[in-house]
Structure 1
Amino acid sequence: MPRDLPLEATNDQRETRQLLLRKPRPDDGPAIWELVRACKPLDENSLYCNLVQAEHFADTCVLAERGDEVVGWISGHMIPNEDALFVWQVAVGPKARGLGLGRRMLQHLLRREECAGAARLHTTITRDNEASWALFRSLARHLGGHLRSRPHYTRDTHFGGRHATEHMVTIPLPRAYARPKAA
Structure 2
Amino acid sequence: MVGPTDRPLTVRGVAEADLPELHRIDRETFPEEPYPYFVLRQLYDVHGDRFLVLDDGENLHGYVLFVTTSDRYVCWGMSLAVTPDLRGLGLGRRLMVEALRRVRAEGVHRVHLTVEPTNAAAISLYRSLGFEVEAGVRKDYLGPGEDRLVMTLGL
Q: TM-score with structure 2 length normalisation?
A: 0.84
C-alpha displacement of 1:103: 1.1
The separation in 1 between residues aligned to 2:37 and 2:137, in whole angstroms, is: 26
Amino acid at match of 1:148: V
| Shift in Å, 1:43 | 3.3
- What do residues 72-99 of structure 1 show as CA deviations (whole Å, max 9, x unaligned)? 1111200233512100111001232232
Count of residues in Structure 1 that have an aligned counterpart in Structure 2: 155
| Alpha-carbon distance in 1 for matches of 2:116, 2:103 | 30
Q: Kindly report the root-mean-square deviation, in angstroms, between the aligned alpha carbons of the 2 structures.
A: 2.7
> For the residues of structure 2 that align with 1:29 and 1:114, how far apart are their CA atoms?
27
Q: Which has the larger radius of gyration?
A: 1
- One-letter amino acid of the structure 2 residue matched with residue 57 of structure 1: H
CA offsets per residue over residues 144-181 of structure 1, 9 Å max, x none? xx5133257532x761x3x32122110112xxxxxxxx
Q: Which runs of 5+ in 1 are unaligned?
A: 1-7, 141-145, 174-183
Partner of 1:90: 80
Identity of aligned residues (%): 23
Question: Who is 2:57 aligned against?
Answer: 67
**Residue of structure 2 in register with 1:5 after alignment:** none
The Cα shift of 1:20 comes to 1.5
**Alignment partner, residue 148 of structure 1:** 133
| Distance across 1 between alignment mates of 2:95 and 2:109 | 18
2:72/2:107 contact within 8 Å kept: no
Distance 2:121 2:73 in 1: 26
Alignment correspondent of 2:14: 24
1:178 counterpart residue number: none
Note if contact 1:22-1:64 (Cα within 8 Å) is conserved in structure 2: yes
1:44 maps to what in 2?
34
User: Which stretches of structure 1, 4 residues or more, deviate above 6 A after TM superposition?
Assistant: none
Tell which deviates more after alignment, 32-41 or 70-79. 32-41
Matches within 5 A, 1:64-143: 64-81=54-71, 83-112=73-102, 116-140=106-130
Change (3 A) 1:166 1:82: farther
User: Which structure features the higher share of helix residues?
Assistant: 2
* CA–CA separation in structure 2 for the residues paired with 1:89 and 1:23: 15
Query: In structure 2, how many angstroms separate the alpha carbons of the residues matched to 1:87 and 1:113?
Result: 11
Change (3 A) 1:20 1:69: same
Shift of residue 65, structure 1, vs aligned partner: 0.8
* Cα contact 2:134–2:150 (8 A) shared by 1: yes
TM-score (norm: length of structure 1): 0.72
